[in-house]
Every structure is written in C-alpha cells, then in structure tokens.
Structure 1
Amino acid sequence: MYAQIYDGLRQMILSGAIPGGARVPSSRVLSESVGVSRFTVVTALDQLIAEGYLSSARGSGTYVETVPRRNAGKSSARIKGGVPDSDRFEKLTSRRANALTWRSSLTLNDGAQYLHMATPDHRLFPVQTWSRLTKEVFAECDFRIVNYREILTPSLLEQQIAQHIAISRGIRCDPEEVVTTLGAHHAVNLLAELLLDPGDTVAFEEPGMAAIRSIFQSYDCSIEPMHVDASGPNPHTISNRDVKLAFVTAAKQQPMTIAMPMKRKLEMLHWAADRGSLIVEDDLGSEFRYQGGPIPPLKALDQGGQVIYIGAFSMTLLQSLRVGYMIMPRALAEKCRRLIQVRYRALPQFTEQIVARLIEDGHYGRHLHRVRRIYAKRQTRLLQIIRSDFADVFEAPDLASGFYILCYYRDQSIDEDAVLRRCRELNLGVEQLSYYYANRTSPRKALLIGFAASNEAEIELGTTLLRRCLDGG
C-alpha cells in the first residue's frame, strides 16, 4: 500500500501535477483522505524525501522539490501509437551494433517447431546424469570454482578437452593451449578483439556463416570472399596477399555441407604460411557424420601453429549451456586468457565443471554415440520423403553430415522469399541458401531442411506443412 502511495505522488511530481514548492498535506490529513494508516503514509513520504522528491523542515512542513519535467523537449518525441522515435535511436546506435543487428524477422527461426536446420533435439539431453553431476558439484562447493578463476591455470574442463579432442578429432594439444569460451560466437568475438584492427583483411567463405561474417564486419574489417567450390573454400580465389585472418569450416562447410579433402587442406595451410596469415577453423556440427567416422579437421594437420580451432558443446548437448573452447598456440592462448580476465572476469565455472565431469566419466561419449544413431534414422526418413514426395520440387539430395539436408529447387524462378515467409508462419525452421551469401543472392536457389530436432512423426508433419508452403497454401 505504501508503494502505491509513493508511486502515485512520485508520478504527480514528475509530471508537474504537483508543482515545485507546493506544501504537502500532513501525514494525518493524507492518511484520513486515502483511508490508510498514518504509518503507511509516513513510510511513503520518507521514501520520497530520501530520493529527493520532497524536502522536510522541522516545524515548517514538507514541500515538493522543483524537478525537471519528465518527457520534456524534442529528445522524448513519440510517434503515433506511443512507439519510441526510431530515427532518434538509429542515430545513437553504434556502427558495430548496426553491423550485428541486420537480421530481419524473415531470417529469424530460433523458435521454430519443425524441421529446424540448426538445432539439436533438447529432448535427448541426458537430464538425469546432468542433474546428478550438478548436485555433486554444488555439494562440494570447491573454492576454486566459487571464486574468480585463476585464469592462467588450465581448468578441469580444459584438461578434459585436451584429452577428448586428441581421441575424437586427432588434435594433439596441451591443456595450456585450450581456452574455454561462452560458445563459438564468443570465441570469434575474442579473436577479433585479440587480433584485428580496423581495416585489417579477413578472408571469409562465400557462402558462409552470416552471423560470424557480421562480427568481423562490426570490427570494421575488410572482408575478402573465399569462394566455395566442390572441395570447399578455395584460398586461390583470393588475390589479396594482405590477409591477416581466414575463417573456414573445413570438416563440414556451412552451408554447403562439403568435407574439405586432404589436398585442399594442404593447399590452405601452404597458402596461409605463404602470407603469414592465421586460419580460424570452426568445427561446427562435425561430430554428426552418419557414414563412416568424423572427418579430421584442418587443425589435425597443423604443424606450425597456423590454425586456431573453435569447438562448442552447443550442438552436442544444449545450445543454452553456452560452453565452447578454442585451441591455439600457447603464447596466444595466454594473451586470450588475460583478455577474458579483463573483459569478463570469469566464465561460468560451475557449468564448466559439470561438462568436464560429463566427459571425464564417459557420459559425453556415450551420449554422442546415442544421438548419432537417432539423427541418422531421422536423416534417412527425411531423405525418403524428399526423394519421393518432393521429386517435382527438389533435385534428389545427397546424404550430408550435420543437422540438415541441402535441397536445390528444380524451378529456379521460384519466389523463395514467399516460400520462406509461409514457412515462418507455419513454424518451420528451414532456411534459404541465399541467406549465407554476402549479397543475399545465391547462384542457385535452395532450401536447408533440418531433421535433427524433429522426431520421425514431426518430420512427417513438418514436410506436410512444407508442401503447403511450396504450393502457395
């Protein structure tokens, strides 16, 4: 009750309904007029006095302080409907923010229910194991993880990643070369801060991951397109020798799903060595290859410290965990840790500790084996449907690693924006290939259709809805 009285008087003072210098009635009068206890009124008045809205002098009374009128002047102009003036805020927004917030509603599909092309199935997350490990970690309450971390000493997770990555991806490294991050995007931001100055040149896959490209653009870097061919990103398409950084997805090119062959990997390493460039390799989704074993990353061939490897647990566990890592030369890793210490103080050590134990106890490996089998069945089912029921719309797609199938339209005159708009309306998480090109135009129109996050019944329902979207319904 006192809060309501406080807020009502405060609003009247700010709006000018009670002018500055006006005498406030006594607490007894106010309590009688409002119908509450005197104590309630006194509590509200004391709060207003403490915040400077009122002033009180013994034996003289309580008075309203003169305060600047709220919503005065052009700076608070409103447009029709009470919406803030977007033009004013557009002028206040930084170039970096504009470079990072270009995505429109047409390209946002994070809440889609069916056929999402970039999301794991959270229902497969090992909840019981995670809950048990969480209880254990919190029960121990180790001082090393409740305080700010000693940043230069490898954490348990960094130690476990160094062991795990040697077996799973063929990358030999020491724990001191592993730096944990808040996911892959955070890793790229750290590298941009660590390595790039405005005007530096970054070689970037074309097509490539648009959100990552926008990070480099936000640091005022010059983007050189590295065109993707049948062997993945081709460094020989870049004539500029002044390239400081090259960003690639070698084991599974995003979005073309191409696995870079050995010859191209060696060409990439020789190209970088010749220019003195660093390569940033994002190993997104490489764990999910359904024929044979995972393709070794570019980093596994790196002998000269040219490749910075980025991995994350977003696709294998939960996206919301925000736990990722980088593998980089030790001297660079130390600088990166110092940067984290200054910019973020500490990463979520409780979460890192739980993930570390998940790996250490073998639960993570068993979880990966299980979800691979499930995703493989889902991919097979989606391929069957696309090849049979959509043969008139799409060219026959191939098997691919990751979470989606790349389907080229037979009719290249199709209005893909209209199709995508209808898909968004029906809660489908598909994406168009053109989204990944710098100019939002692809040489051939195609749709990326996901299968990992949908079970077989949902795949059948989702493809039924997709047919409606393609038919214009």
Structure 2
Amino acid sequence: MSSLGHTPWRRAIARTIDGSSLDGLILEADSARPLYLQLYDGLREMILSGALPGGMRIPSSRVLSESLGISRFTVVTALDQLVAEGYLNSARGSGTYVETVPRRQQGSPNTPSERDVATPDRFENLLSKRGQALTWRTSLTLNDGSQLLHMATPDHRLFPVQIWSQLTKEVYAQGDFRIVNYREILRPSLLEEQIARHIAVSRGIRCEPEEVVTTLGAHHAVTLLAELLLDPGDTVAFEEPGMAAIRSIFQSSGCKIEPMYVDASGPDPHTVASRDVKLAFVTAAKQQPMTIAMPMKRKLELLHWAADRETLIIEDDLGSEFRYRGGPIPPLKALDQAGQVIYVGAFSMTLLQSLRVGYMIMPRALAEKCRRLIQVRYRALPQFTEQIVGRLIEDGHYVRHLHRMRRIYAKRQNFLLQILRSDFADIFEPPEFASGFYNLCYFRDQSVDEDAVLIRCRHHNLGVEQLSYYYANRTSPRKALLVGFAASTEDEIEFATKLLRRCLDAT
C-alpha cells in the first residue's frame, strides 16, 4: 500500500472492465472529508453521470484497495453505503454490480450554488400564493441582535444567565417524565399556571390557567389563530400602518385585509369600510409602529364596534412591559367582559428572542380547540423551556429582571433623545419619549430618499427601520426612521449615532 503523503494525490484503476474504465476517482490526502466518503462521492458521481453504466461489475474490494492505495476497510465502507442507497447491487458469490439508474441530464449543475445561480427564477415560479405572501421582502434590517440602534431587539447581555443555568440544572435533575414526553395537552402546564397569576398582577387580566395557551412566540400564536378561525375570503381588519409580518400571515391565508387607519388615539374602528369583519388585529399598549398608547375612550369604542359585528379581536400586547413613565396601562383584554378579545403575549422581548416562548389568553372553549390544533400540527411545544420559564416567574426572578431592564432601557432612551434633539435637530423633528425599544423620528425634509438612507445604514451595521415598511403599499404619508436604543449601551449609542449622521449627510 502506498503512502498518502501530505499533498493532494490521485489514484485510479488502470484496468478496463466490461469496456468501462474506473479511471477518474480522485482522493485527496489532506482533505477534511474522510477517504471513504471521497470514494463514495467519486463512484456515485460516475454512476449518475453514466460513466459507470448499469450492469457493470465493480472490482473487488481487494483490487480497489490495492489500486487506490487505501485500506480495504475504507473501500468496503464506501461500497456498503452505495449498496444501501441503491447505487450498487451486491450478489453473494458473483460480485458487486452497478444498478441501472436514470442518468443526470446533460449540463445539469453539480453544486447547490451552481444550481441556484443557473435557475434564479425556477423556485420563485414554484411558490404558492401563500409562499409569495410570506416571503415578499428581503429585509435590510437583521434580527440577530448584531446591529446597533436596532429598533426591535432587546439586549441579550442583560439576560440572567446564572439564574437560568441554575434553574435548568434543577429542572433536568427532577427527571419528570411529563416534560420529556409529549404533553397532556388539555392539562395546564406550570408556565400556563404562572402566566395566569403573573398577568393578573402585571396587566390586570383575570383568567384561569385553562384559558392560557402557550405558543412558539407571538407570530406563531397569530398563525395558529389564522388556521383555527379563518377561511380564504374572510375579512380581517388590520391596523394601517401595522406590523407587516403579521399582515402577511393573514394575506397568506387568503383573507381580505380591511385597513383600520391609525390616528392620534390608535387604530380607529370606524374607518373600517366593511361590516362583515371576522377578525381584527390591534396593538393597543404601544401601537406598532406609531408608539401610541390607546386611551380608554378608543378601547371602549373598539369593544362596542366588535360586539356590534360579532368580531373577535386579537390584541398583541407588544412592548407593554417597557413603559418608562407612569404606571402600566390596562390592556384591551382587561376590559373585555364578553370574551371578544384574544390576548397575545411573548417573552421574546423580555428574555431571549431565540427562546420562542409566547402565549395567548382566550375563552376556555376556544383555548381547548387551540390546544387540539397544536396537538395535531406540532404534537407538543418545548416543555423543558416552558418549565424553566415557569420557574423563573414562580420564584420571582422574572419580575426582578423586568425592573432591571426598565431602569437600564429608560436611561438609554434619555441618552439617545439628548443626542437626537441636539445633534440631529436639523434633520429630525424633536422625537418624543416613547415606550418600547425605539423612537419615531420624522424627517424635516420630506423629500429624503428613505431607501438610500436605509441601505447606507445597513452598510454601517445600523438596525434602524423606515416607517414606510409598515404601510400596506410601502409608502408612508410622512417619512420617518425608527431608531432603537434598548440593545445598545450608551457608548454604542454615541458611536452609532455618529455613523447614522454620516449616512444621513451622504444622502
């Protein structure tokens, strides 16, 4: 057997068997890919290309081993894999033969990247209407937390790692079989019990654990509700402007979207043209993106409007935990006496986005139906994570964590506002103190090219967003940027705002 050495080398079988040569097998000694896989790749490619025709007898493992200068074990491992996948047929006593398989089309690219470049429109044309509605935008704003001034990301560095680690060890040490198997879907989990207790104190919502349904985040919750409640052609009233990603869920379900225009009090139900509205989606605590907290009068108007039409309301309580001035504002759900409101919450903004833990609060009968849907579609949700979050709330760690985040975020917002009001006074109208993670900054010059600004900001790793993104037609009456502060320290804010100024001056 010959030595492999330290540089790429090639061994091939010189003999011709049944008129077909096995020459062409290339093995590289310094490749990170094991030799048996290199041999497997080479033989498989020759079979698919037709270089090794169906019915051809493959030399014995001993012959291949000697010819290629590799161990017989390596050869046997590769051949066994090809036999298992149906490329070869091994007949005891008579040898190993190439199976007859359809030849790859001439000119067909070999690598994934080549295939994608060669046929850029192929998969675009294969998309369903649902797929097109869900993939309409290639976002310039990332969601991985890497961008400064990001308008929708918490600071993961504030996550209580030590407490989480300790609770994780304790949950695993318990060895409770109920959290390693599929969940008993009709029985409330620890997290659902703790949410029911927590939400009564923090948001004024009185509910039983049976009315709480945990989900894989707020978007998953809305997707479940769309599947459960909506048929193609149903009408959904949606905030204008509103959360584009959520709007796309309803659009992909084949629903008709009726705009519910936002004014100084939030979404106005009287602007909805249709009376036949099955569902309405609102953000009452902090309208996304306008940052408006819905006053009591508008909440009552919305509830009366929904009752008159027998319309269910989905209330996404996004940003309610981060109100920095005054006490918490009761959500729409806290006023709901008739079971019209389905409340959606999540832990993505308060803990970690990647945890993907959210919840809904809804009438008990509907909650039971929703649990059955989860059982059919997803079998179960990640119970280990739910158990840990439940313990985090039960032991009081979650509330203390929220208090700490509010103090830090409020300080960061004040710092950002000082810079915006002084160094950007010629560019932005004075922004107001807002809840949530960002400030809405209106341009003084409404002729500014928002797209060009956003592209420059993306180049400099800034996670700002343009207001027009939230409008159904991608055009806003007034141009503005959403400039985040929560995920950036004061030093990072100071550095990033200088980059932002450079982007704006270059426009």
Residue pairs, 1:66-85, within 5 angstroms = 66-71=100-105, 83-85=117-119
TM-score under structure 2 length normalisation: 0.90
Q: 1:79 to 1:289 in 2, by over 3 A?
A: closer
Matched residue type, 1:301: L
Deviations 1:52-91 (A, max 9, x none): 2222334433221111112459899999886141322122
Matched residue type, 1:313: F
> The residue matched to 2:140 in structure 1 has which SS?
helix
Contact 1:77 1:84 (8 Å CA) reproduced? no
Cα separation, 1, equivalents of 2:338 and 2:118: 54
Matched residue type, 2:504: L
Contact 1:110 1:429 (8 Å CA) reproduced? no
For the pair 1:33 / 2:67, whether they are aligned, the reply is yes
| Alignment-derived partner of residue 450 in structure 2 | 416
| Structure 1 gap ranges (5+) | none
Matched residue type, 2:344: I
| Alignment-derived partner of residue 425 in structure 2 | 391
Q: 1:78 to 1:377 in 2, by over 3 A?
A: closer
For the pair 1:217 / 2:238, whether they are aligned, the reply is no
Q: 1:325 to 1:40 in 2, by over 3 A?
A: same
Task: Select which of 197, 212, 220 maps to 2:231.
Answer: 197
Contact 1:408 1:446 (8 Å CA) reproduced? yes
Contact 1:170 1:296 (8 Å CA) reproduced? yes
For the pair 1:168 / 2:168, whether they are aligned, the reply is no
Q: 1:82 to 1:341 in 2, by over 3 A?
A: closer
What's the % identity of the aligned pairs?
82
Q: 1:396 to 1:64 in 2, by over 3 A?
A: same
If asked which structure has higher relative contact order (CA below 8 Å, sep 6+), I would say 1
| Alignment-derived partner of residue 466 in structure 1 | 500
Task: Select which of 19, 33, 37 maps to 1:3.
Answer: 37
How far 1:47 sits from its partner (Å)?
2.8
For the pair 1:374 / 2:374, whether they are aligned, the reply is no
Cα separation, 2, equivalents of 1:185 and 1:343: 15
Task: Select which of 294, 297, 301 maps to 2:328.
Answer: 294
Q: 1:78 to 1:361 in 2, by over 3 A?
A: closer
| Alignment-derived partner of residue 114 in structure 1 | 148
Cα separation, 1, equivalents of 2:213 and 2:393: 16
Structural RMSD (CA): 1.8
Matched residue type, 1:49: V
| Alignment-derived partner of residue 488 in structure 2 | 454
How far 1:17 sits from its partner (Å)?
1.5
| Alignment-derived partner of residue 126 in structure 1 | 160
> The residue matched to 1:86 in structure 2 has which SS?
coil
| Alignment-derived partner of residue 327 in structure 1 | 361
Cα separation, 1, equivalents of 2:144 and 2:62: 57
> The residue matched to 1:228 in structure 2 has which SS?
strand
Deviations 1:90-125 (A, max 9, x none): 222111111001112435464542100000000000
| Alignment-derived partner of residue 270 in structure 2 | 236
Number of aligned pairs?
473
Deviations 1:265-295 (A, max 9, x none): 0000000000000000000011101111121
For the pair 1:445 / 2:479, whether they are aligned, the reply is yes
Contact 1:189 1:215 (8 Å CA) reproduced? yes
Contact 2:109 2:115 (8 Å CA) reproduced? no
| Alignment-derived partner of residue 318 in structure 1 | 352
Contact 1:408 1:445 (8 Å CA) reproduced? yes
Deviations 1:301-341 (A, max 9, x none): 00000000000000111111100000000000000000000
